[in-house]
């Protein structure tokens, strides 16, 4: 019984540590990999926006256009390629492979953990931090 309790405690500590997200790191990743299409301010007005058939999303309004809840699972899946988006005849650049590395979990609004990589979790944290009303 003690061993089971210690295993449960170890898992909870690991899971809690794994859910840390760094919006500041995510901001740097966004500028390096996403701003070309979505713009420096994430409003969908990047320098490549004009040549895309499907215009980039205004990423500052994700919560507002999702009934007040940030769409954590959908955003993570778009970034890592589990939910591909076709624009200009080919998929949105998917950085899932580039962002592979240490796995972590982020929480959906429902509390459900979503497994992803640390860089994707950081990007999601950044995008969540820039939401406008």
Number of separate domains in the chain:
1
Which structural domain range is residue 81 located in?
Answer: 21-129
Residues 30-51 pLDDT 10s: 999 999 999 999 999 999 999 8
CATH number of domain containing 97: 1.10.760.10
The end-to-end CA distance of the chain, in Å, is 49
Residues 68-124 pLDDT 10s: 999 999 999 888 888 877 655 556 666 666 777 788 999 988 889 999 999 999 999
Q: Is residue 109 part of a domain?
A: yes
Residues 6+ apart with CB under 8 A from 39: 45, 46, 49, 56
Query: Sorting pLDDT into bands at 50, 70 and 90, what band is 127?
Result: very high
Does the pTM surpass 0.85? The reply is no
Q: Is residue 121 part of a domain?
A: yes
Q: Is residue 13 part of a domain?
A: no
The secondary structure of residue 104, as a DSSP letter, is E
């Amino acid at each position: 019984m003690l061993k089971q309790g210690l295993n449960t405690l170890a898992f909870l500590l690991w899971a809690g540590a794994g859910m840390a997200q760094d919006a500041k790191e995510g901001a740097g990743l966004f500028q390096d990999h996403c701003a070309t299409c979505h713009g420096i301010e994430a409003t969908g007005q990047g320098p490549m926006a004009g040549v895309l058939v499907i215009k980039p999303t205004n990423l500052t309004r994700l919560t507002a256009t999702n009934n007040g809840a940030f769409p954590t699972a959908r955003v993570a899946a778009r970034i890592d390629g589990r939910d591909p988006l076709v624009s200009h005849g080919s998929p949105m650049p998917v950085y899932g492979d580039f962002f592979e590395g240490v796995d972590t979990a982020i929480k959906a609004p429902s509390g459900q953990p979503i497994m992803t990589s640390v860089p994707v979790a950081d990007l999601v944290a950044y995008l969540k931090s820039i939401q406008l009303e």
